[in-house]
Structure 1
Amino acid sequence: MSELINLDLDQVHALAMRALTRNGMGADHARAIADTITQGQRDECHSHGLYRVLVCVQSLRSGKVDPLARPTVSRPAPSIVSVDAHRGYSLLAFQTGLPLLVEQARELGVAALVIRNCFHFSALWPEVEAIAAEGLVGLAMTPSHAWVAPEGGSKGVFGTNPLAFAWPREGREPFVFDFATSAIARGDIELHARQDKPIPLGWGLDANGRPTTNARAALEGAMQTFGGHKGSALAAMIELLAGALIGDMTSAESLAFDAGAGATPCHGELLLAFDPARFLGNAMEEGQRRAEQLFAAITDQGARLPSQRRFAARKRSEREGVWVEQALLDDIERLMA
């Protein structure tokens, strides 16, 4: 491992902005992307922090991404907000559609935000946390590239296909989970490959379909789902809901569209927002009490809630800054040469 350098969060954001804009990314897109990259680095999700600058610039240089695309909004139904990213990144499209999603969820009780024709690299927890910050329950899902074999298979069909959920809690961090339906995020295998570190069995298969601990072999072969057939079924569900249902590409189609360019996956994203106030009405306080009883039943026996580690890292990073490998900073600086 290379030397570690301490940066404050403003420096992380400025570095991401500089690398993106110097490679031709429009300022609005760069700002939305840098916001999310900074959140990833802040929460010690290293595979979704500054490392993603390299991925974004590679995607820009591939010619696939439109760095100046302006998202456009349509309303195909009262409960559906649709944003066409026009082959730009998803994050500006999300920021564009979020206020309308919140408005419709509060009016109707439940609403959907559909983002189409977008390039997507980020974790989903920043998006569902943004929904929870409005006092709404959030759910998000997206396909990616067909890197992941179905249970019992050996060739990629699914993407890493993350699923994220957030439940707002009065006066404290929301209950949040965000996980790939693959055994691990692809970025984590890429980081192992960068550092020449072995991966655990169960993460991936080599090109011959054999389980491997070699990160590079897994990247050249196929990733595996978590939980065997259960993760495989959830991955298929996400292909259907966030691909076929919204009129956008499946992971296999996204990989074919990439055609070896090495860009970030291009596809769609589906987000749902539920308004507890509309569901519960006068029983709002009772519903919140039941939720808190559930959380207490988990933590009172010594178990932790998902994202507790991430929230602790957030407080630490806001206080002390973050530590970044010098080798990664050197790679980012080379992108600006």
Structure 2
Amino acid sequence: MSALDAGDTVALSVDEVFALSRRILTGAGLSLPHAEAVARVITAGERDECASHGLFRLPGCVQTIQSGKMSLDAEPVITDVSPALVRADAKLAYSLLAFERAAPLLARKAKTVGVAALAINNCFHFSALWPEIEHLTDMGVAALAMTPSHAWVAPAGGHKGLLGTNPIAFGWPRPGPHPYVFDFATSAIARGDMALHDIADKPIPDGWGIDADGRPTNSARAALDGAMLTFGGHKGSALSTMIELMAGPLIGDLTSRESMAFDDGSRAAPMHGELILAFDPAIMGGGDVEAQAARAEALFAGFSAQGARLPSERRYAARARSLAHGVRTPQVLYDRILALGA
């Protein structure tokens, strides 16, 4: 591998990030199809300068692989349940291969009936949702995805973990190379970003977490050992609860508290379900695709007119830089990853 040491960081091409991730994952025992699916989303995170969802995730992936909880080579079972529903049983493996196998059928159903759902069950999930959303917008459908996690987050007014970080993501296909996409945790900050604050010994802002005694804290470590908080108080708490229900009992899968009980201290990635909805703009919009797309573009133009940033614009700018010049990852993380391979 051609990695150039630059003091505290290492330079890698995007292709090298993928190759490194695949090598570490297969070396830890993950089958090649699963390893490549996981490596694709890790590479996407690193490429788009989302540090908490890039190579930073590899050690946790290896820990999950070695936990004894997950299947390393299960073939997902895709079931055509109804005209508007696809079910993918990941068979206690990572969610990503199940998603990739089921996504074309989901998009076809959406383009046939207008809206369709994909329920992924019995899956380990660790990644951002926007790579999955972009996969669907590339097929010409709008999409909404959500998943629980572990019970790391206290509900508004509570003092201990009950909810997950519970991300939600949405994408709208647009003319040109990039869709409109947002992806965020319903916790005040993603757990990976909280962990990065802990590693850097950097204080966290008010409202991100509480300690084990339920007291507000500015220590990332105390919040990781205590509980994280939702964004927006009771509003974020309500949205997080909706995700628990829709991506849990609604699709016959675990809540974040049940996922943590399943983990039983192994410190693996959360194991639960994921719900993805796809919408066909042609059918939903009454058939006049160009007119409805023009309405959407007028809305987006309103952001630019007042100097506001559309969600995902930062990632797309980072993507262009990374594809042209490669990425830089901390030397300490790179060395840790190489040690995993050894």
TM-score band, normalised by shorter chain: over 0.9
Q: 1:261 aligns with which of 259, 266, 273?
A: 266
Q: Distance in 1 between matches of 2:279 and 2:63?
A: 36
Report the secondary structure of 1:212's partner residue.
coil
Task: Look up the match of 1:300.
Answer: 305
Instruction: Establish whether residue 291 from structure 1 lines up as the match of residue 299 from structure 2.
Output: no
Task: Look up the match of 1:330.
Answer: 335
Task: Give the 5 Å matches for 1:1-337.
Answer: 3-337=8-342
Structure 1 residue runs of 5 or longer lacking an equivalent are none
Once the two structures are superposed, what CA deviation does each residue of 1:4-60 show, in whole Å capped at 9, x if it has no partner?
A: 111001110111011111110000000000000000000000000001111100001
Once the two structures are superposed, what CA deviation does each residue of 1:263-290 show, in whole Å capped at 9, x if it has no partner?
A: 0000000000000111224421111111
| Deviation, structure 1 residue 161 | 0.3
What is the root-mean-square deviation in Å for CA atoms of aligned residues?
0.9
Which stretch shifts more, 257-266 or 280-289? 280-289
Q: Distance in 1 between matches of 2:199 and 2:104?
A: 39
**TM-score, scaled to structure 2:** 0.97
| Deviation, structure 1 residue 75 | 2.2
| Deviation, structure 1 residue 229 | 0.6
Counterpart residue type for residue 267 of structure 1: H
Counterpart residue type for residue 183 of structure 2: D
Once the two structures are superposed, what CA deviation does each residue of 1:231-252 show, in whole Å capped at 9, x if it has no partner?
A: 0000000000000100000000
Q: Distance in 2 between matches of 1:225 and 1:208?
A: 17
Structure 2 residue runs of 5 or longer lacking an equivalent are 1-6
Q: Distance in 2 between matches of 1:56 and 1:103?
A: 32
Q: Distance in 2 between matches of 1:18 and 1:213?
A: 38
Once the two structures are superposed, what CA deviation does each residue of 1:49-78 show, in whole Å capped at 9, x if it has no partner?
A: 001111100001111111111100112222
Report the secondary structure of 2:49's partner residue.
coil
Which stretch shifts more, 205-214 or 246-255? 205-214
**TM-score, scaled to structure 1:** 0.98
Counterpart residue type for residue 103 of structure 1: R
Report the secondary structure of 1:13's partner residue.
helix
Task: Look up the match of 2:4.
Answer: none
Identity of paired residues, percent? 60
Report the secondary structure of 1:177's partner residue.
strand
Q: Distance in 2 between matches of 1:239 and 1:109?
A: 25
| Deviation, structure 1 residue 195 | 1.8
Once the two structures are superposed, what CA deviation does each residue of 1:58-110 show, in whole Å capped at 9, x if it has no partner?
A: 00111111111110011222200000000000000000100110111111111
Report the secondary structure of 1:83's partner residue.
strand
Report the secondary structure of 1:269's partner residue.
strand
| Deviation, structure 1 residue 199 | 1.4
Q: Distance in 2 between matches of 1:282 and 1:51?
A: 44
Q: Distance in 2 between matches of 1:189 and 1:234?
A: 20
